[in-house]
């Protein structure tokens, strides 16, 4: 897959950052919104289905409330989001109506996508809106969210929506030209990364986890989002949102921004959902033999390979499988609770019924409910 696939893609998820949408916190960037909406309308006429993931609610609320710095208190952030969401959606609706396009507001928390039934419901709703020719505008539900159910940043939300809809591309518009081989704010000789594989480990040393005063992530979250999007086969473009006709240039496969190519075989939908869990309920430390079997043979996790249990989880919750060095190698839905696994860890499967007095499943995590990470 190369940039040329941007010319034939039929479904894009486009994420626009807070700094762009609010002119670095000065209030809604209405000329910018008008320009992006005009380009999206053009893409729509070309047959591209677009889902817009929009930051900006908190930043717009801060501007309306005359707050100069992002608050730390959760209730103040939620108040700012509630105020800002009104202006943000009004601005989108007014601009899209100029082109005869309907919009729909979709507010999500990680809880919505972590719950399998709500995940499927969100997917059905978004697919129906796209079938109706509507442009969904997605944002994190900042007015009710708390730490345990946060996405953490809208780059991650954009990637999860990309997985949810099996979109062709994730487009991240930012206030930087793209991803550089070193921090361009600190190094004048920094060079723009034009095209690389999303999973290339050399990218890790190039990104910063520092966001701006309005954002929550920096390039680190964008690289992480690109790798998450790649699980469903979507490549990611990171580009300067203030560039004239940036979306049209991307559509034409012009050499703008950074293009991170998805090279792995797309993970099936259920495993994409598992991989997208940001808050895990616990972890199982596995021995070297179990780690090898999971990574190289794609088999189920058995009790005999588990050395330690962390967390207080129940049957059916998502846990991480970590090796003896502390590295996460997989995650999946457990068939037993933490207290049960503590009793049967290190034991052969035919001993489970004797120890517990019952046998739900011979595996702790069945391979169909396990995804490598």
Q: What is the pLDDT of residue 278?
A: 64
The last residue of one of the domains, among 253, 272, 291, is 272
Domain holding 124, by residue range, is 3-272
Q: What is the pLDDT of residue 184?
A: 77
230 by Cβ neighbours in 10 Å (0-12 / 13-18 / 19+) ranks as buried
**Residues 109, 258 within the same domain:** yes
Mean pLDDT (the chain, rounded) = 87
**Residues 147, 258 within the same domain:** yes
Mean per-residue pLDDT, 15-27: 82
Give the Cα separation of 113 and 333 in Å (integer).
15
**Residues 173, 320 within the same domain:** no
**Residues 255, 152 within the same domain:** yes
**Residues 233, 303 within the same domain:** no
Q: Which helix (H) or strand (E) holds 124?
A: helix 116-131
Q: Find, among 13, 37, 12, the residue nearest to 92 by Cα.
A: 37
211-243: per-residue pLDDT in tens?
Answer: 444 444 578 889 989 998 988 889 999 999 999
Q: Find, among 183, 179, 139, the residue nearest to 18 by Cα.
A: 139
Which residues, 6 or more positions from 281, have their beta carbon under 8 angstroms from its beta carbon? 311, 312, 313, 314, 317, 318, 319
DSSP 179-207: -BSS-TTT-TT--B--EEETT-GGGGGG-
Q: Find, among 357, 329, 356, the residue nearest to 365 by Cα.
A: 329
267: left (phi over 0), alpha (psi -120 to 50) or beta: beta
Q: Find, among 371, 369, 302, the residue nearest to 341 by Cα.
A: 302
- Number of domains into which the chain is organized: 2
CA dihedral (40, 41, 42, 46) positive or negative: positive
- The label of the residue with tokens 């079997």 reads 293
For the chain, the straight-line distance linking the first and the last C-alpha, in angstroms and rounded, comes to 22
**Residues 196, 59 within the same domain:** yes
Q: In terms of pTM, does the model score above 0.85?
A: no
Whether 334 has a pLDDT exceeding 60, the answer reads yes
Residue with the larger pLDDT of the pair 81 and 115? 81
348 by Cβ neighbours in 10 Å (0-12 / 13-18 / 19+) ranks as exposed
**Residues 161, 209 within the same domain:** yes
Cα–Cα distances in angstroms (integers) from residue 326 to residues 45, 286, 331, in the given order: 50, 10, 14
| Backbone angles phi and psi of 15, in degrees to 5 | -110, 130
Give the Cα separation of 232 and 166 in Å (integer).
6
Please state, for a pLDDT cut of 70, what percent of the chain lies above it.
Answer: 92
The last residue of one of the domains, among 256, 272, 288, is 272
**Residues 115, 49 within the same domain:** yes
**Residues 50, 135 within the same domain:** yes
CATH number at residue 294: 2.30.130.10
Q: What is the pLDDT of residue 117?
A: 80
Give the Cα separation of 79 and 76 in Å (integer).
5
**Residues 177, 316 within the same domain:** no
Cα–Cα distances in angstroms (integers) from residue 69 to residues 18, 63, 150, in the given order: 14, 10, 21
DSSP 54-98: E--HHHHHHHHTT-SS---SHHHHHHHHHHHHHHHHHHHHHHHHT
113 and 122 Cβ atoms separated by less than 8 Å? yes
Q: What is the pLDDT of residue 49?
A: 97
Whether 209 has a pLDDT exceeding 60, the answer reads no
**Residues 205, 284 within the same domain:** no
The last residue of one of the domains, among 272, 306, 333, is 272
186 and 224 Cβ atoms separated by less than 8 Å? no
373 by Cβ neighbours in 10 Å (0-12 / 13-18 / 19+) ranks as middle
Cα–Cα distances in angstroms (integers) from residue 136 to residues 147, 222, 245, in the given order: 25, 21, 21
Mean per-residue pLDDT, 308-321: 91
Mean per-residue pLDDT, 128-139: 96
**Residues 121, 216 within the same domain:** yes
Q: Are strands 306-311 and 282-286 parallel, antiparallel or unpaired?
A: antiparallel
Q: What is the pLDDT of residue 269?
A: 66
Q: What is the pLDDT of residue 114?
A: 76
């Amino acid at each position: 897959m190369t940039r040329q696939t941007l010319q034939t893609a039929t479904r894009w998820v486009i994420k626009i950052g807070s700094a762009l949408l609010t002119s670095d916190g000065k209030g809604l960037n209405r000329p910018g919104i008008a320009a992006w909406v005009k380009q999206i309308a053009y893409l729509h006429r070309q047959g591209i289905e677009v889902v817009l993931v929009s930051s900006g609610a908190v930043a717009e609320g801060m501007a309306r409330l005359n707050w100069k710095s992002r608050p730390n208190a959760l209730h103040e952030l939620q108040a700012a989001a509630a105020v800002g969401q009104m202006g943000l959606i009004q601005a989108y609706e007014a601009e899209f109506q100029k082109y005869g396009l309907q919009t729909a507001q979709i507010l999500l928390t990680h809880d919505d996508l972590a719950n399998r039934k709500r995940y499927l419901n969100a997917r059905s709703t978004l697919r129906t809106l796209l079938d109706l020719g509507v442009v969904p505008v997605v944002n994190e539900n900042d007015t009710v969210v708390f730490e345990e159910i946060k996405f953490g940043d809208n780059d991650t939300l954009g990637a999860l929506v990309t997985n949810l809809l099996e979109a062709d591309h994730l487009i991240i518009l930012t206030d930087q030209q793209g991803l550089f081989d070193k921090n361009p704010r600190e190094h004048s000789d920094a060079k723009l990364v034009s095209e690389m594989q999303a999973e290339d480990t050399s990218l890790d040393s190039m990104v910063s986890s520092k966001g701006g005063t309005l954002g929550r992530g920096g390039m680190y979250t964008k690289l992480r989002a690109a790798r998450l999007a790649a699980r469903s086969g979507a490549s990611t473009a990171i580009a300067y949102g203030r560039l004239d006709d940036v979306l049209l240039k991307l559509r034409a496969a012009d050499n703008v921004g950074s293009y991170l190519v998805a090279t792995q075989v797309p993970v099936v939908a259920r495993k994409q959902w598992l991989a997208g869990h940001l808050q895990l309920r616990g972890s199982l430390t596995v021995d070297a033999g179990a780690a090898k079997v999971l990574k190289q043979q794609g088999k189920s996790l058995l009790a005999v390979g588990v050395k330690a249990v962390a967390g207080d989880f129940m049957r059916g919750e998502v846990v991480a499988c970590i090796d003896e060095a502390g590295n996460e190698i997989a995650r999946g839905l457990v068939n037993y609770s933490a207290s049960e696994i503590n009793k049967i860890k290190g034991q052969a499967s035919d001993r489970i019924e004797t120890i517990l007095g019952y046998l739900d499943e011979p595996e702790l995590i069945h391979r169909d409910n396990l995804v490598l990470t």
